[in-house]
A and B are shown apart, each in its own frame.
Chain A
Amino acid sequence: GENVEQHPSTLSVQEGDSAVIKCTYSDSASNYFPWYKQELGKRPQLIIDIRSNVGEKKDQRIAVTLNKTAKHFSLHITETQPEDSAVYFCAASMMNDMRFGAGTRLTVKP
């Protein structure tokens, strides 16, 4: 089955700096790669996703890149703000089978 590894487990940045979270996956058949943000005590919420036929996608301060050959994808957050502080999960999915990375706890210090 699919195995998703996510790094780093914790990340602390200064407000305004960029944050990068990286994930690798094992199953080359996976074709959908979402990123979820989970604030303390709340449910995970989708923030951006990318499909296997696209190499990069951007939405305001958030971007995701995908390297299918190397089977890794990354989340980039620019101009970080304190409200970006949360746990971020990557996932890899194929045919309704979604597997999550271990999560990255991002702290943005004002």
Chain B
Amino acid sequence: KNEVEQSPQNLTAQEGEFITINCSYSVGISALHWLQQHPGGGIVSLFMLSSGKKKHGRLIATINIQEKHSSLHITASHPRDSAVYICAVRSIQGAQKLVFGQGTRLTINP
């Protein structure tokens, strides 16, 4: 079993829909990262959080440390949100190592 599991692996939705991507992990962590990989391959860091909730524009990330679970929400989704969203965790023992999920491929249709 992977230390970081994302669901769903693929998600297709219509423009305007509320999107939720889930990330579950099995190790104790000091931080969790959400990243976005564009269709062209470039990767952008969206959030880093260790507790609670963060918001940036239409993106909201939450984390529940006790349940070892994080969610990334996108409100009023738009075709430009189409990308692969990646969850990564830094384990307590992990020095500078991030453990990455396989990613969730999101497609927003107009």
> Do they bind each other?
no
B-binding residues in A (CB < 8 A): none
A-binding residues in B (CB < 8 A): none
